[in-house]
């Protein structure tokens, strides 16, 4: 990944670049592949690009705020997108999303990951020191776990909020 937003898809074993995806002129914050390996999310500072494995751009979603994280729902091309204090669900094939956020906090969120069955999202809310579980679907539901920093490092004088890196069975 370059500071210009370029992404290089490489064959690690063959040590060669397969494709180069031109950047949007902004630094890349993260990458996420769909389960089937057909789509790649390129998370920039104020947008998310969806790219096919052949390097063609499906499209870009301007976020009108700081783009913080994105993750594909298991077995689909829909993804959760964290923009400032909001979590939005976006269809990766059409780049359409509902008019309202799936979850909105009072302050900035940081990470998002899907449950293996795709029914729940775990959303990190560092300022509230909470991990919020959001049930996605017809009947949304929220559960919050508080005081996370102390749970993960109880001996620390100034505990740090943990990163959310995945959800396993």
- In this structure, is residue 117 part of a structural domain? yes
pLDDT at 61: 85
pLDDT at 117: 94
Task: Report the C-alpha gap between 115 and 148 in whole angstroms.
Answer: 19
- In this structure, is residue 33 part of a structural domain? yes
Strand pairing class (16-21; 7-11) = antiparallel
- In this structure, is residue 125 part of a structural domain? yes
Number of domains in the chain: 1
- In this structure, is residue 159 part of a structural domain? no
Question: What percent of the chain has a predicted confidence (pLDDT) above 90?
Answer: 44
CA-nearest of 16, 23, 18 to 1 is 23
Query: Considering only 20-29, 48-57, 67-76, 85-94, which range has the smallest mean pLDDT?
Result: 20-29
- In this structure, is residue 78 part of a structural domain? yes
- In this structure, is residue 158 part of a structural domain? no
Q: For all residues of the chain together, what is the average pLDDT? A: 86
Q: What is the pTM of this model?
A: 0.86
114-133 per-position pLDDT tens digit:
999 999 999 999 888 899 99
- In this structure, is residue 39 part of a structural domain? yes
pLDDT at 121: 95
- In this structure, is residue 67 part of a structural domain? yes
The residue segments making up the domain with residue 60 are 27-152
Identify the CATH number of the domain in which residue 140 sits.
2.130.10.10
Flag whether pLDDT at 156 surpasses 70. Answer: no
Flag whether pLDDT at 81 surpasses 90. Answer: yes
What integer is the mean pLDDT of 76-81?
A: 94
| Residue that the structure tokens 């490489």 belong to | 10
Query: Considering only 8-22, 32-46, 119-133, which range has the smallest mean pLDDT?
Result: 8-22
Task: Report the C-alpha gap between 1 and 21 in whole angstroms.
Answer: 10
């Amino acid at each position: 990944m370059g500071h210009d937003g370029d992404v290089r898809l490489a064959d690690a074993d063959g040590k060669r670049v397969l494709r180069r995806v031109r950047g949007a002129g902004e630094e890349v914050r993260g990458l996420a592949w769909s389960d089937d390996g057909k789509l790649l999310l390129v998370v920039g500072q104020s947008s998310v690009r969806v790219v096919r494995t052949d390097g063609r751009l499906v499209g870009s979603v301007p976020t009108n705020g700081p783009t913080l994280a994105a993750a594909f729902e298991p077995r689909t091309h829909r993804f959760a997108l964290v923009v400032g204090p909001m979590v939005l669900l976006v269809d990766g094939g059409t780049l359409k999303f509902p008019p309202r956020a799936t979850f909105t906090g009072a302050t900035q969120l940081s990470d998002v990951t899907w449950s293996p069955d795709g029914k729940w999202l775990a959303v990190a809310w560092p300022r509230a020191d909470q991990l919020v579980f959001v049930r996605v679907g017809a009947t949304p539901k929220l559960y919050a776990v508080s005081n996370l920093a102390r749970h993960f490092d109880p001996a620390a004088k100034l505990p740090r909020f943990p990163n959310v890196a995945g959800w396993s069975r």
